[in-house]
Amino acid sequence: EVQLVESGGGLVQPGGSLRLSCEASGFSFRRDWMSWIRQAPGKGLERVANIKSDGSEKYYGGSVQGRFTISRDNRKNSLSLQMNSLKVDDTAIYFCVRDVTYASGSYAFENWGQGAVVTVSS
């Protein structure tokens, strides 16, 4: 069974930093792209970052570019998101997500963690 367990959420002041972690199990972590997707209170979904299976490629959403850094450790089956210069608008549930590519070439988000709550407020 695929399991993704996030940790590291909490309350932080604007301008502060926070690091989220995700422990993965039940699948071959080192083979899959991974993403962080967030959901602001009562809002929709936004992918903030994703990383290639070997960590050689990383992509960021425009709203977090230059502030967030995604990384992974395939030896420990773990994914991280370093969030700096946090803004009130970054308040959201952050989900650790496994990307899956299908034969058609499209990819979707097949497995989700329960999420880590990040609140940015003074």
Partner 1 sequence: QSVLTQPPSVSGAPGQIVTISCTGTSSNLGSIYAVHWYQQLPGAPPKLLIHSNTIRPSGVPDRFSGSKSGTLASLAITGLQAEDEADYFCQSYDSGLRNVVFGGGTKLTV
Contacting positions for partner 1 (CB under 8 A): 44-47, 59, 61, 95, 100, 102, 104-110, 112-115
CB of 53 to partner 1, least distance (A): 17
CB of 37 to partner 1, least distance (A): 8
CB of 13 to partner 1, least distance (A): 27
Output DSSP code: residue 47.
E
CA distances from 78 to 19, 33, 63, 65 (A): 13, 12, 24, 22
Which pair of tokens denotes residue 89? 């608008």
- CA separation for the pair 37, 94 (Å, rounded): 6
Q: Would you say 15 or 57 has its CB closer to partner 1? A: 57
Q: Would you say 17 or 89 has its CB closer to partner 1? A: 89
How distant is the alpha carbon of residue 98 from its chain centre? 10
